[in-house]
A and B are shown apart, each in its own frame.
Chain A
Amino acid sequence: MMREVLRLENVAKSFGSVQALRDVSLTVNTGEVVALLGDNGAGKSTLIKAISGLHGIDRGRIIVDGKEVTIRNPRDAMNLGIETIHQDSSLAVDLSIARNLFLGREPVKAAFLGPLAPLDLPQLKRQASDLLRRVGIRKNLDADAPIKALSGGERQSIAISRAMQFFAKIIILDEPTNNLGVEETHGVLRFIKEVRDAGHSVIYITHNIHHVFQVADRIVVMRQGTVVADIKAEGTSILEVEAIITGADLHELEVDARRS
């Protein structure tokens, strides 16, 4: 049963004289992978940053689970169940896996001490180990190992596990397969399907249209700060989507493809 978890209505955002987003409207349902496509500068990152609380919006409404919300900072977004995995930058590589998994949400004892409160290290370690097993990271990873010691794919898995652990409603993945090998990319794509099957919604940003067709249920294309297409992945083709992204004529593209 599909239910709407996130709806954007006429969202707009400018930076000085540059209008990065205009009238963006979008819905995401439960258990759905929505691929967000668009050329560089189309406004994908700006949109994601607005949803994940890295910057505000100028106009429009954001509705989560039927309620209009204001997202002022990343913590607001996380509390609403929106977890974002940013491109290459979601983990602190010098910290251990366990410390990364709970970064910003550390379990503490004596919470009245505020930021100086002592970390509940045994609990941190135990929950981290549980999580690593639960999300099916097959290798016997030590929760105390620094992220530095992991491969790119393992790091991405850790970042995605972190998003899953707080039972996020919506997981946003910003180019999660960048800089990954073939095997690791397949791992991440498989992971995305599992996340969906477990009932989470996923917004998946990528440049790789082939990956989109492997995992996405719906494809949303942005161009020049606005949504130009919102189509079901089933029943469309790579060329068609490419044409929408670049704004080129589909016929010309087909001719090009035949020539090369």
Chain B
Amino acid sequence: MALTVPRLRRLDPLGALLAVAGATAVMFLPFVIFKSNRVVPGDPRGLLEVLPAWAAFACQASLLLAATAALGVSNARVRLGAALLGVTVVALAVAAAGDALTPAGNKVVRVAPGAGVWVLLVCLGLLATDAITRMRPGPGRRVLFLAVFTAAAGLALAHGTFDHLSVMREYAVNADRFAREARQHLWLALGSLAAAVVVALPIGILCHRVPRLRAGVLGTLNVIQTIPSIALFGILMAPLGALAGAVPLAAALGIRGIGAAPAAVALFLYSLLPIAANTVAGLKRVPRAAVEAARGMGMTNWQVLTGVELLLALPVILTGIRIVLVQNIGMVTVAALIGGGGLGTFVFQGIGQTAIDLVLLGAIPIVALAFSAAVVLDALVEVMDRARQ
């Protein structure tokens, strides 16, 4: 493999923008926020105040390197490498700042990343995103990138690198609940998706076969989508509560007005439209010749449907499933408001206590989950679409 020597060329406009923003963040914004306990207002600290001189210098040198790559190198791999180096260094520097500012054994002190760190991470993230976009990675590579990044983050978390940062402090206090709520979150998102696939797929097939039904059924599902999630959750509480009151069996099954049941039903209802609509669209895309050829081969109606039509429509149906999954992972958050559990519990608790760390403890995993689901399912759709051709 020939090593491509990075060539300097005229300044990259995006790189210039990011470099200026990053430099401003390093110079003028607080690197970490120090609080002597959870409630008091924070006290901003700069990079040089929290790290020993050599570490601060190494950190700045790496960032300078990343900025140089962003400004003058056009090779996407070099740019990606520079961005990842920057992210790693910033993450390690924040972790080191946490360790340095926390007296041994002290569990009261809170050290949180400051605005400077967030701006830097956004800039480096944009640089990495731009580099990856320019590399046009195939589906396998994209999933690989995601897996490597997840593994690296997971290792750092397991190793306890960030244990002295305030978000991880909140995690340490809530570890048991976190595992439970995360399971509940996934369960609600995936369970309602599975139920919706089972129901919406036949609806979609029916709408495809009987065009007269199409406008009415899809229109009704569309109306459901426009109802705000919190409202639908709330509205469903009344009938489910009444059901539990009237039918002891329903109550015994755990169906109650408050809790996971209305959330699951609402998510299920929201999930119907994208899957049904995409099933119709996918079936419409199946070439008539393929269906006729299959019939000519003596396949039964059922065989044509499962062996030819649904198979060919699969990429489009999967796109619908991807939309639903990402949407569900986000919407489960709101379920916490009606006692449905999920990671939203931490978000709303954090809002209630004005504890940003608690909000982040809920919000970061939700965003990461939604993002990973999107990357993996997009890759799957692309692979299927290629196989189809």
The finding on whether chains A and B are genuine partners in a shared complex, rather than unrelated, reads no
Footprint of A on B, CB under 8 Å? none
A contacts, CB < 8 Å to B? none
